[in-house]
Amino acid sequence: MDAVPTQTRLTGAEIIQYRRDGYVVVRNLLGPASIAACKCALTDLATGARPLGQTSLMYETGVDAARLAPAEREFAIRKYMDFCADAPSLQAAAFSARLHDVLDQLLGEGRVLFQEMALVKPPRIGSAKPWHQDAAYFRIKDPGLVVGVWISLDEALRANGCMEVIPGSHLNGGVAHVHENDFNLCQITPDKIDLAKRLPIEMQPGDALIFHGMIQHYTAPNNSNLRRRAIQFHYHQLGAVWGTVEDHQKFFHDAHGNYAGCTVAHADLPGGNYAYREGLPREIVTTDTSA
């Protein structure tokens, strides 16, 4: 069993930090056994030791996955998605009672896990995730009801592409994003980012970054020899309503009022196979924290 407390209470100062800065870090959210089980599940999904089921794998640009030996794949994968049904240890992290105690404190009770992913930024080839706001990807009418949780499975340092945020940027609302049919590269237009305020957040394995759906954030390429695996969950509080692209445009538009979120492809470019989807149909997270 993990030698970590079963319950976590944020201090008043941490709750204020989430509201004011748009993020808070919970240290040691996952203990060593959970971290090891999550890493093992990611490896097994990559090698095929665990069937992919609903899980999808996305590789770094330029990688020909068909030419990789099974053991090589996890060193070329950029992202795993939709794995909860296939990997109980990853699902357990998403439904951690300790995590939901903290989220209850921040947001009130009752939420839905609507998206899960693992970002594994492989050594030497792991690419950047450009500056963006996660709410630009979700047509949810009240972006304040969306919360992201990013849990480091390795040490996340400046050297291997830790999370960086612009503290307080969630308070300025949505800003224009652009992309060219690769939703992984959807990014804030440079004039809307105050890079003087960027703050790298270095984390130890098991630490969790809890961040507001509107905070501007980024991860650098991994040019090091270090691994940097992380799992990321998105939840919305009950009461969140999925809207139309017009609803989303109210938050994400350019100076002319044109849509500037990440949920629509650039129609005039080849390879425009971007398919927007809403959240996965999921159960409400139980408030029974005894599990």
Ligand X SMILES: O=C(O)CCC(=O)C(=O)O
Interaction site with ligand X (CB under 6 A): 119, 121, 129, 134, 161, 217, 219, 230, 232
Q: Which of 80, 89, 91 is nearest to 47 (CA)?
A: 80
- Cβ distance to ligand X smaller for residue 161 or 174: 161
For 234, which DSSP code?
Answer: E
Q: Which of 42, 49, 50, 47 is nearest to 70 (CA)?
A: 47
Neighbours of 226 (CB within 10 A): 17
> Is the dihedral angle over the CA atoms 33, 23, 161, 116 positive or is it negative?
positive
Residues across the chain: 291
d(CA 49, CA 251): 43
For 135, which DSSP code?
Answer: G
- Cβ distance to ligand X smaller for residue 52 or 185: 185
- In the complex, the smallest distance separating the C-beta of residue 12 from ligand X, rounded to whole angstroms, is 28
Give whole-number Cα distances, 84 to 6, 98, 151, 162, 213, in Å: 22, 18, 15, 24, 21
- In the complex, the smallest distance separating the C-beta of residue 131 from ligand X, rounded to whole angstroms, is 9
d(CA 173, CA 214): 7
- In the complex, the smallest distance separating the C-beta of residue 212 from ligand X, rounded to whole angstroms, is 13
- Cβ distance to ligand X smaller for residue 94 or 97: 94
Evaluate whether 226 touches 123 at the Cβ level (below 8 Å). Answer: yes
- In the complex, the smallest distance separating the C-beta of residue 152 from ligand X, rounded to whole angstroms, is 9
- Cβ distance to ligand X smaller for residue 41 or 230: 230
- Cβ distance to ligand X smaller for residue 97 or 205: 205
- In the complex, the smallest distance separating the C-beta of residue 218 from ligand X, rounded to whole angstroms, is 7
d(CA 22, CA 188): 17
- In the complex, the smallest distance separating the C-beta of residue 85 from ligand X, rounded to whole angstroms, is 20
- Cβ distance to ligand X smaller for residue 97 or 152: 152
